[in-house]
Amino acid sequence: MKRDSFNVLFFIKKAKLLKNGEASVCMRITVNGARVENNIHKSIEPALWNQAKECAKGKSRKSCDLNAYIEDARIKLHQTFNELEEQGQFITARLLQEKFFGQDQVPEVVRTLIQTIQEHNDQCRELVGKDYALIIVRRYESCKRYLAELIKLKYDKEDLPLSEVNGELVRAFEFYLKTEKECQQNTVIRYMKCLKKITNLALANEWITKDPFMGIKFHEKEVIREFLTMDELLTIYHKGFPLERITIVRDVFIFAAFTGLAFIDVQQLAPEHIVEDSNGNLWIHKPRQKKKNMCNIPLLDIPLEILRKYAKHPACQKKNCLLPVPCNQKMNSYLKEIAGLCLINKTLTTHVARHSYATSVYLANGVSIENVAKMLGHSNIKMTQHYARVLDSSILRDMNNVKSVMSKAMQ
Protein backbone atom coordinates (compact mmCIF):
# COMPACT_ATOMS: atom_id res chain seq x y z
CA MET A 1 0.00 0.00 0.00
CA LYS A 2 1.39 3.38 -1.00
CA ARG A 3 2.21 5.58 1.97
CA ASP A 4 0.69 9.06 2.28
CA SER A 5 3.11 11.97 1.72
CA PHE A 6 3.14 14.55 4.49
CA ASN A 7 4.94 17.85 4.97
CA VAL A 8 4.66 20.92 7.19
CA LEU A 9 6.17 24.29 6.27
CA PHE A 10 6.46 27.54 8.21
CA PHE A 11 6.86 30.86 6.40
CA ILE A 12 6.21 34.57 6.82
CA LYS A 13 4.00 36.92 4.81
CA LYS A 14 6.43 39.57 3.59
CA ALA A 15 3.98 41.15 1.14
CA LYS A 16 1.63 42.38 3.86
CA LEU A 17 3.34 43.54 7.03
CA LEU A 18 1.56 44.33 10.28
CA LYS A 19 1.34 47.91 11.55
CA ASN A 20 4.36 47.32 13.82
CA GLY A 21 6.45 46.34 10.78
CA GLU A 22 6.51 42.63 11.63
CA ALA A 23 5.40 39.80 9.35
CA SER A 24 2.80 37.19 10.29
CA VAL A 25 4.08 33.61 10.61
CA CYS A 26 2.00 30.99 8.79
CA MET A 27 1.93 27.20 8.75
CA ARG A 28 1.24 25.12 5.64
CA ILE A 29 0.23 21.46 6.01
CA THR A 30 0.49 19.34 2.84
CA VAL A 31 -0.83 15.80 2.45
CA ASN A 32 -0.58 14.05 -0.92
CA GLY A 33 -0.18 17.39 -2.69
CA ALA A 34 -3.30 19.00 -1.12
CA ARG A 35 -2.61 21.73 1.41
CA VAL A 36 -4.14 24.09 3.94
CA GLU A 37 -2.59 27.25 5.38
CA ASN A 38 -3.12 29.00 8.69
CA ASN A 39 -1.88 32.12 10.42
CA ILE A 40 -0.52 30.86 13.75
CA HIS A 41 -1.04 34.34 15.29
CA LYS A 42 2.66 34.95 15.84
CA SER A 43 4.90 37.46 14.10
CA ILE A 44 8.55 38.37 13.64
CA GLU A 45 10.60 41.09 11.97
CA PRO A 46 11.31 39.96 8.36
CA ALA A 47 15.07 40.49 8.84
CA LEU A 48 15.01 38.02 11.78
CA TRP A 49 13.42 35.17 9.80
CA ASN A 50 15.48 32.35 8.26
CA GLN A 51 13.29 30.75 5.60
CA ALA A 52 15.85 28.04 4.78
CA LYS A 53 15.67 26.74 8.36
CA GLU A 54 12.06 27.87 8.92
CA CYS A 55 12.85 29.53 12.21
CA ALA A 56 13.66 32.88 13.79
CA LYS A 57 17.25 34.13 14.06
CA GLY A 58 18.89 35.29 17.25
CA LYS A 59 18.53 34.49 20.95
CA SER A 60 15.95 37.07 21.94
CA ARG A 61 12.99 36.00 24.07
CA LYS A 62 10.58 36.44 21.16
CA SER A 63 12.73 34.40 18.77
CA CYS A 64 13.17 31.59 21.29
CA ASP A 65 9.43 31.46 22.05
CA LEU A 66 8.57 31.35 18.34
CA ASN A 67 11.12 28.62 17.61
CA ALA A 68 9.85 26.58 20.56
CA TYR A 69 6.28 26.85 19.24
CA ILE A 70 7.36 25.79 15.74
CA GLU A 71 9.29 22.79 17.08
CA ASP A 72 6.37 21.68 19.30
CA ALA A 73 3.97 22.08 16.35
CA ARG A 74 6.16 19.90 14.13
CA ILE A 75 6.35 17.17 16.76
CA LYS A 76 2.59 17.25 17.44
CA LEU A 77 1.71 17.16 13.72
CA HIS A 78 4.06 14.24 13.01
CA GLN A 79 2.71 12.32 16.01
CA THR A 80 -0.88 12.96 14.85
CA PHE A 81 -0.03 11.88 11.31
CA ASN A 82 1.61 8.64 12.53
CA GLU A 83 -1.35 7.84 14.84
CA LEU A 84 -3.88 8.34 12.05
CA GLU A 85 -1.78 6.22 9.70
CA GLU A 86 -1.57 3.38 12.26
CA GLN A 87 -5.35 3.51 12.64
CA GLY A 88 -5.72 3.17 8.87
CA GLN A 89 -7.68 6.43 8.56
CA PHE A 90 -7.95 8.41 5.38
CA ILE A 91 -5.63 11.36 6.07
CA THR A 92 -6.13 14.84 4.62
CA ALA A 93 -4.45 18.17 5.29
CA ARG A 94 -7.76 19.50 6.63
CA LEU A 95 -8.06 16.60 9.09
CA LEU A 96 -4.55 17.22 10.42
CA GLN A 97 -5.39 20.89 10.79
CA GLU A 98 -8.52 20.09 12.79
CA LYS A 99 -6.65 17.62 14.99
CA PHE A 100 -3.89 20.16 15.63
CA PHE A 101 -6.05 23.14 16.50
CA GLY A 102 -9.13 21.30 17.70
CA GLN A 103 -12.13 21.16 15.37
CA ASP A 104 -13.80 24.17 16.96
CA GLN A 105 -10.59 26.20 17.16
CA VAL A 106 -9.41 26.09 13.54
CA PRO A 107 -8.48 29.69 12.70
CA GLU A 108 -10.89 30.97 10.08
CA VAL A 109 -9.21 32.36 6.99
CA VAL A 110 -10.78 35.79 6.50
CA ARG A 111 -10.80 36.84 2.87
CA THR A 112 -10.48 40.54 2.26
CA LEU A 113 -11.37 42.77 -0.68
CA ILE A 114 -7.95 44.26 -1.50
CA GLN A 115 -6.27 40.86 -1.06
CA THR A 116 -8.76 39.25 -3.47
CA ILE A 117 -8.28 42.00 -6.07
CA GLN A 118 -4.49 41.66 -5.78
CA GLU A 119 -4.68 37.89 -6.38
CA HIS A 120 -6.91 38.52 -9.41
CA ASN A 121 -4.56 41.19 -10.77
CA ASP A 122 -1.49 38.97 -10.32
CA GLN A 123 -3.15 36.25 -12.41
CA CYS A 124 -4.22 38.76 -15.08
CA ARG A 125 -0.70 40.18 -15.34
CA GLU A 126 0.67 36.69 -16.04
CA LEU A 127 -1.85 36.42 -18.90
CA VAL A 128 -0.93 39.72 -20.58
CA GLY A 129 -0.61 39.10 -24.29
CA LYS A 130 -2.69 35.90 -24.00
CA ASP A 131 -6.06 36.70 -22.45
CA TYR A 132 -5.56 40.31 -21.35
CA ALA A 133 -4.18 43.53 -22.77
CA LEU A 134 -1.79 45.47 -20.52
CA ILE A 135 -4.15 48.47 -20.41
CA ILE A 136 -6.89 46.27 -18.88
CA VAL A 137 -4.55 45.01 -16.15
CA ARG A 138 -3.51 48.57 -15.36
CA ARG A 139 -7.19 49.52 -15.01
CA TYR A 140 -7.70 46.75 -12.44
CA GLU A 141 -4.60 47.94 -10.58
CA SER A 142 -5.94 51.51 -10.53
CA CYS A 143 -9.28 50.17 -9.27
CA LYS A 144 -7.51 48.39 -6.41
CA ARG A 145 -5.56 51.53 -5.52
CA TYR A 146 -8.66 53.74 -5.50
CA LEU A 147 -10.60 51.21 -3.40
CA ALA A 148 -7.74 51.05 -0.88
CA GLU A 149 -7.78 54.86 -0.64
CA LEU A 150 -11.56 54.86 -0.09
CA ILE A 151 -11.39 52.15 2.60
CA LYS A 152 -8.69 54.09 4.43
CA LEU A 153 -10.70 57.31 4.19
CA LYS A 154 -14.13 55.87 5.05
CA TYR A 155 -13.29 53.06 7.49
CA ASP A 156 -9.73 53.95 8.62
CA LYS A 157 -8.61 50.43 7.66
CA GLU A 158 -6.02 49.02 5.29
CA ASP A 159 -8.45 46.42 3.95
CA LEU A 160 -12.03 45.24 4.36
CA PRO A 161 -13.38 41.68 4.86
CA LEU A 162 -15.43 40.53 1.87
CA SER A 163 -18.32 39.96 4.28
CA GLU A 164 -18.48 43.74 4.79
CA VAL A 165 -18.60 44.57 1.06
CA ASN A 166 -22.14 45.80 0.47
CA GLY A 167 -24.22 48.22 -1.56
CA GLU A 168 -23.12 51.09 0.67
CA LEU A 169 -19.48 50.53 -0.31
CA VAL A 170 -20.40 50.25 -4.01
CA ARG A 171 -22.24 53.59 -3.93
CA ALA A 172 -19.47 55.20 -1.88
CA PHE A 173 -16.92 54.02 -4.48
CA GLU A 174 -18.96 55.58 -7.29
CA PHE A 175 -19.21 58.87 -5.36
CA TYR A 176 -15.47 58.80 -4.55
CA LEU A 177 -14.52 58.30 -8.21
CA LYS A 178 -16.72 61.19 -9.32
CA THR A 179 -15.71 63.66 -6.60
CA GLU A 180 -12.18 62.87 -5.40
CA LYS A 181 -10.83 61.42 -8.68
CA GLU A 182 -12.99 63.61 -10.96
CA CYS A 183 -13.69 60.68 -13.31
CA GLN A 184 -16.25 61.08 -16.06
CA GLN A 185 -19.36 58.85 -16.10
CA ASN A 186 -18.05 56.27 -18.57
CA THR A 187 -14.69 56.04 -16.77
CA VAL A 188 -16.54 55.51 -13.48
CA ILE A 189 -18.51 52.66 -15.05
CA ARG A 190 -15.30 50.97 -16.24
CA TYR A 191 -13.98 50.94 -12.65
CA MET A 192 -17.36 49.77 -11.31
CA LYS A 193 -17.24 46.88 -13.78
CA CYS A 194 -13.81 45.96 -12.41
CA LEU A 195 -15.23 45.85 -8.88
CA LYS A 196 -18.28 43.89 -10.05
CA LYS A 197 -16.04 41.24 -11.59
CA ILE A 198 -14.36 40.78 -8.19
CA THR A 199 -17.69 40.53 -6.33
CA ASN A 200 -18.97 38.05 -8.95
CA LEU A 201 -15.81 36.01 -8.36
CA ALA A 202 -16.50 36.11 -4.61
CA LEU A 203 -20.10 35.00 -5.17
CA ALA A 204 -19.02 32.12 -7.42
CA ASN A 205 -16.54 30.90 -4.78
CA GLU A 206 -19.12 31.38 -1.98
CA TRP A 207 -16.88 33.87 -0.18
CA ILE A 208 -19.91 36.14 0.01
CA THR A 209 -23.61 35.23 -0.10
CA LYS A 210 -25.23 38.47 -1.26
CA ASP A 211 -24.52 40.49 -4.41
CA PRO A 212 -23.42 44.03 -3.37
CA PHE A 213 -24.54 45.31 -6.80
CA MET A 214 -28.12 44.09 -6.38
CA GLY A 215 -30.48 46.89 -7.43
CA ILE A 216 -27.60 49.10 -8.63
CA LYS A 217 -27.51 49.98 -12.33
CA PHE A 218 -25.17 52.19 -14.31
CA HIS A 219 -25.82 53.86 -17.63
CA GLU A 220 -23.05 54.86 -20.01
CA LYS A 221 -23.27 58.19 -21.78
CA GLU A 222 -23.06 57.97 -25.53
CA VAL A 223 -19.80 59.48 -26.73
CA ILE A 224 -19.67 61.11 -30.14
CA ARG A 225 -16.47 59.72 -31.62
CA GLU A 226 -14.37 61.98 -33.80
CA PHE A 227 -13.72 60.83 -37.37
CA LEU A 228 -12.42 62.39 -40.58
CA THR A 229 -14.33 62.63 -43.82
CA MET A 230 -12.82 61.26 -47.00
CA ASP A 231 -11.98 64.81 -48.14
CA GLU A 232 -10.12 65.46 -44.87
CA LEU A 233 -8.21 62.17 -45.14
CA LEU A 234 -7.14 63.00 -48.69
CA THR A 235 -6.14 66.53 -47.65
CA ILE A 236 -3.74 65.04 -45.06
CA TYR A 237 -2.53 62.42 -47.53
CA HIS A 238 -1.63 64.95 -50.26
CA LYS A 239 -0.17 67.57 -47.90
CA GLY A 240 3.61 68.02 -48.10
CA PHE A 241 5.54 68.32 -44.83
CA PRO A 242 9.09 69.66 -44.47
CA LEU A 243 10.04 67.37 -41.54
CA GLU A 244 10.55 63.61 -41.88
CA ARG A 245 9.07 62.88 -38.42
CA ILE A 246 5.81 64.60 -39.41
CA THR A 247 5.73 62.77 -42.74
CA ILE A 248 6.19 59.38 -41.05
CA VAL A 249 3.41 60.09 -38.55
CA ARG A 250 1.15 61.24 -41.39
CA ASP A 251 1.84 58.06 -43.37
CA VAL A 252 1.23 55.78 -40.38
CA PHE A 253 -2.04 57.58 -39.61
CA ILE A 254 -3.25 57.38 -43.23
CA PHE A 255 -2.26 53.70 -43.38
CA ALA A 256 -4.38 53.04 -40.28
CA ALA A 257 -7.25 55.08 -41.71
CA PHE A 258 -7.33 52.94 -44.87
CA THR A 259 -6.83 49.58 -43.13
CA GLY A 260 -8.71 50.07 -39.85
CA LEU A 261 -5.87 48.62 -37.77
CA ALA A 262 -5.47 49.82 -34.20
CA PHE A 263 -2.20 51.56 -33.29
CA ILE A 264 -0.63 48.50 -31.64
CA ASP A 265 -1.53 46.31 -34.63
CA VAL A 266 0.05 48.77 -37.09
CA GLN A 267 3.13 48.84 -34.87
CA GLN A 268 3.34 45.02 -34.87
CA LEU A 269 2.55 44.55 -38.57
CA ALA A 270 5.16 42.23 -40.09
CA PRO A 271 5.79 40.80 -43.60
CA GLU A 272 4.13 37.48 -42.70
CA HIS A 273 0.83 39.33 -42.15
CA ILE A 274 0.59 40.24 -45.86
CA VAL A 275 -0.84 37.41 -47.98
CA GLU A 276 -1.79 37.12 -51.64
CA ASP A 277 -4.96 35.35 -52.78
CA SER A 278 -5.43 33.28 -55.93
CA ASN A 279 -6.45 36.40 -57.90
CA GLY A 280 -3.31 38.32 -56.98
CA ASN A 281 -5.01 40.58 -54.41
CA LEU A 282 -3.02 41.45 -51.29
CA TRP A 283 -4.65 41.10 -47.85
CA ILE A 284 -3.71 41.78 -44.26
CA HIS A 285 -4.37 38.63 -42.24
CA LYS A 286 -3.47 39.41 -38.64
CA PRO A 287 -4.90 38.51 -35.21
CA ARG A 288 -5.69 41.64 -33.20
CA GLN A 289 -3.35 42.14 -30.27
CA LYS A 290 -6.26 43.06 -28.00
CA LYS A 291 -8.55 40.03 -28.31
CA LYS A 292 -6.82 37.84 -30.90
CA ASN A 293 -9.77 38.14 -33.33
CA MET A 294 -8.54 37.72 -36.90
CA CYS A 295 -8.61 40.77 -39.18
CA ASN A 296 -9.13 40.13 -42.91
CA ILE A 297 -8.42 43.41 -44.67
CA PRO A 298 -7.95 43.95 -48.43
CA LEU A 299 -5.06 46.30 -49.15
CA LEU A 300 -6.21 49.37 -51.06
CA ASP A 301 -3.89 51.38 -53.31
CA ILE A 302 -3.06 54.10 -50.75
CA PRO A 303 -1.90 51.80 -47.90
CA LEU A 304 -0.10 49.59 -50.42
CA GLU A 305 1.81 52.63 -51.71
CA ILE A 306 2.78 53.54 -48.13
CA LEU A 307 4.10 50.01 -47.46
CA ARG A 308 6.26 50.17 -50.59
CA LYS A 309 7.57 53.58 -49.53
CA TYR A 310 9.02 52.17 -46.29
CA ALA A 311 10.03 48.71 -47.55
CA LYS A 312 13.75 49.52 -47.19
CA HIS A 313 13.55 51.85 -44.20
CA PRO A 314 16.39 51.00 -41.71
CA ALA A 315 14.03 50.87 -38.70
CA CYS A 316 11.72 48.43 -40.51
CA GLN A 317 14.55 46.14 -41.53
CA LYS A 318 16.01 46.18 -38.01
CA LYS A 319 12.69 45.32 -36.29
CA ASN A 320 11.28 43.13 -39.10
CA CYS A 321 8.19 45.32 -39.32
CA LEU A 322 6.50 47.08 -42.23
CA LEU A 323 6.28 50.66 -40.90
CA PRO A 324 8.59 52.80 -38.69
CA VAL A 325 5.88 53.55 -36.11
CA PRO A 326 6.80 56.01 -33.31
CA CYS A 327 5.37 55.58 -29.81
CA ASN A 328 1.69 56.41 -29.30
CA GLN A 329 2.49 59.56 -27.29
CA LYS A 330 4.63 61.01 -30.08
CA MET A 331 2.06 60.03 -32.69
CA ASN A 332 -0.73 61.89 -30.89
CA SER A 333 1.48 64.92 -30.30
CA TYR A 334 2.53 65.19 -33.96
CA LEU A 335 -1.03 64.53 -35.19
CA LYS A 336 -2.11 67.75 -33.48
CA GLU A 337 0.54 69.57 -35.54
CA ILE A 338 -0.73 67.88 -38.69
CA ALA A 339 -4.33 68.92 -37.96
CA GLY A 340 -3.19 72.52 -37.56
CA LEU A 341 -1.13 72.49 -40.76
CA CYS A 342 -4.04 70.99 -42.71
CA LEU A 343 -6.56 73.46 -41.18
CA ILE A 344 -8.63 70.59 -39.75
CA ASN A 345 -10.47 71.72 -36.61
CA LYS A 346 -10.65 68.27 -35.00
CA THR A 347 -8.64 66.56 -32.28
CA LEU A 348 -6.59 63.93 -34.08
CA THR A 349 -5.40 60.80 -32.26
CA THR A 350 -4.25 57.42 -33.53
CA HIS A 351 -7.70 55.98 -32.76
CA VAL A 352 -9.46 58.57 -34.96
CA ALA A 353 -7.98 56.66 -37.91
CA ARG A 354 -9.90 53.51 -36.97
CA HIS A 355 -13.18 55.41 -36.61
CA SER A 356 -12.57 57.17 -39.94
CA TYR A 357 -11.94 53.82 -41.63
CA ALA A 358 -15.25 52.37 -40.42
CA THR A 359 -17.30 55.46 -41.20
CA SER A 360 -15.80 57.34 -44.15
CA VAL A 361 -13.83 54.69 -46.04
CA TYR A 362 -16.33 51.83 -45.96
CA LEU A 363 -19.83 52.50 -44.56
CA ALA A 364 -20.09 55.77 -46.49
CA ASN A 365 -19.29 53.83 -49.66
CA GLY A 366 -21.99 51.20 -49.21
CA VAL A 367 -19.95 48.41 -47.53
CA SER A 368 -22.19 46.37 -45.20
CA ILE A 369 -21.65 46.69 -41.48
CA GLU A 370 -21.13 42.89 -41.29
CA ASN A 371 -18.15 43.14 -43.64
CA VAL A 372 -16.78 46.16 -41.78
CA ALA A 373 -17.01 44.18 -38.52
CA LYS A 374 -15.02 41.35 -40.09
CA MET A 375 -12.30 43.69 -41.34
CA LEU A 376 -12.08 45.46 -37.97
CA GLY A 377 -11.73 42.12 -36.19
CA HIS A 378 -14.88 42.63 -34.11
CA SER A 379 -16.67 39.62 -32.64
CA ASN A 380 -20.11 41.25 -32.96
CA ILE A 381 -21.76 44.09 -34.86
CA LYS A 382 -22.54 46.08 -31.70
CA MET A 383 -18.84 46.81 -31.34
CA THR A 384 -18.72 48.02 -34.93
CA GLN A 385 -21.70 50.32 -34.36
CA HIS A 386 -19.65 51.97 -31.60
CA TYR A 387 -16.97 52.82 -34.19
CA ALA A 388 -19.08 53.78 -37.17
CA ARG A 389 -21.43 56.71 -37.70
CA VAL A 390 -24.24 56.90 -40.24
CA LEU A 391 -23.56 59.86 -42.53
CA ASP A 392 -26.16 62.11 -44.12
CA SER A 393 -24.79 61.13 -47.53
CA SER A 394 -25.53 57.46 -46.76
CA ILE A 395 -29.09 58.30 -45.69
CA LEU A 396 -29.62 60.39 -48.84
CA ARG A 397 -28.25 57.61 -51.05
CA ASP A 398 -30.56 55.01 -49.50
CA MET A 399 -33.55 57.33 -49.66
CA ASN A 400 -32.88 58.00 -53.36
CA ASN A 401 -32.91 54.24 -53.89
CA VAL A 402 -36.27 54.06 -52.13
CA LYS A 403 -37.61 56.94 -54.23
CA SER A 404 -36.46 55.19 -57.39
CA VAL A 405 -38.25 51.96 -56.44
CA MET A 406 -41.43 53.82 -55.50
CA SER A 407 -41.40 55.80 -58.78
CA LYS A 408 -41.18 52.60 -60.81
CA ALA A 409 -44.01 51.06 -58.79
CA MET A 410 -46.26 54.04 -59.43
CA GLN A 411 -45.75 54.01 -63.20
Q: Do 377 and 246 share a structural domain?
A: yes
Q: What is the mean pLDDT of the chain?
A: 85
Reported as a pLDDT band with limits 50, 70 and 90, residue 109 is: low
pLDDT at 1: 47
Give the structural domain span for 335. Answer: 230-397
In 3D, which of 312, 308, 264, 320 has the Cα closest to residue 282?
308
Q: Is residue 363 part of a domain?
A: yes
* Residue where a domain stops, chosen among 204, 222, 257: 204
pLDDT surpassing 60 at residue 3:
yes
Q: Do 185 and 286 share a structural domain?
A: no
Contact 173, 154 (CB under 8 A): no
Q: Is residue 213 part of a domain?
A: no
Q: Is residue 407 part of a domain?
A: no
Q: Is residue 387 part of a domain?
A: yes
Q: Span 222-233, mean pLDDT?
A: 81
* Residue where a domain stops, chosen among 80, 105, 130: 105
Q: Do 384 and 252 share a structural domain?
A: yes
pLDDT surpassing 70 at residue 346:
yes
E strands of 270-350, at which residues? 274-276, 282-287, 294-298
Q: Do 386 and 297 share a structural domain?
A: yes
pLDDT at 397: 56
Task: Give the separation between CA 176 and CA 150, rounded to whole angstroms.
Answer: 7
Q: Do 377 and 269 share a structural domain?
A: yes
Reported as a pLDDT band with limits 50, 70 and 90, residue 380 is: low
C-beta neighbour count of 160 within 10 angstroms: 19
Residue 132 belongs to domain with CATH number: 1.10.150
In 3D, which of 58, 59, 61, 67 has the Cα closest to residue 25?
67
- Report how many domains make up the chain: 3
Contact 55, 70 (CB under 8 A): yes
Q: Do 378 and 313 share a structural domain?
A: yes
Residue pLDDT, tens place only, 282-321: 998 888 776 667 778 888 899 999 999 999 999 999 999 9
Angle between helices 328-341 and 244-257 (to 10 degrees): 100
Long-range pairs, 139-147, Cβ under 8 A, ≥24: 139/190, 139/191, 139/194, 140/194, 142/191, 143/117, 143/191, 143/194, 143/195, 144/114, 144/117, 144/118, 146/173, 146/176, 146/177, 146/181, 146/191, 147/113, 147/114, 147/117, 147/173, 147/195
pLDDT surpassing 80 at residue 38:
yes
Q: Do 101 and 145 share a structural domain?
A: no
pLDDT surpassing 70 at residue 404:
no
Reported as a pLDDT band with limits 50, 70 and 90, residue 399 is: low
Residue pLDDT, tens place only, 123-163: 898 888 777 878 889 999 999 999 999 999 988 888 888 98
pLDDT at 375: 72
Q: Do 196 and 304 share a structural domain?
A: no
Q: Do 384 and 250 share a structural domain?
A: yes
* Residue where a domain stops, chosen among 105, 135, 170: 105
**Of 95-99, 233-237, 247-251, minimum mean pLDDT range:** 95-99
Q: Do 118 and 249 share a structural domain?
A: no
Give the total residue count for the chain. 411
Percent of the chain exceeding pLDDT 70 equals 86
Q: Determine which helix (DSSP H) or strand (DSSP E) holds 383, and give its type and residue range.
A: helix 381-387
Residue pLDDT, tens place only, 257-271: 998 888 888 999 999
Q: Do 375 and 352 share a structural domain?
A: yes
pLDDT at 198: 95
Residue 280 belongs to domain with CATH number: 1.10.443.10
Contact 192, 174 (CB under 8 A): yes
